[in-house]
Amino acid sequence: MKLKLIMTWNILPNHEQEYFEFLVRKFVPNMNRLGFELNDAWATVYGDRPQVMVSALLPGEIEAEERMNSAEWNELVERLQTYVTDFQEKLVPARNEFQL
């Protein structure tokens, strides 16, 4: 069964440029290289929700566990957290509809 990794965060004030550079040059390409299939990317423009929500598909539980426990993934997430606050992630069964 496919799984969906859903991640949310807020961008640190005054770090927007560095954040976007990291996201485009490192985070997304390395997610793809590690086998995460980027599925959605959303930005909140109004309301009391995280600024960013990104989701990626994974083929199954074994693959998800291997990828999310890898040193490369953990380093990538740690580096992301230098540009963001309130980082959260969850793994859910993938559905063909919007998921929070």
pLDDT tens digits, 1-24: 899 999 999 999 999 999 999 999
pTM: 0.91
Place of tokens 């953990």: 74
What is the set of domains in the chain, with CATH numbers? 3-93 (3.30.70.100)
H or E stretch at 47: none
How far apart, in Å, are the Cα atoms of 15 and each of 21, 22, 74, 81, 83? 10, 11, 21, 12, 6
List beta partners, residue 67: none
Query: CA geometry: angle at 31 spanning 25 and 35, to 5°?
Result: 145
Residue-wise pLDDT for 55-70, tens only, equals: 999 999 999 999 999 9
Residue with tokens 């740690």: 78
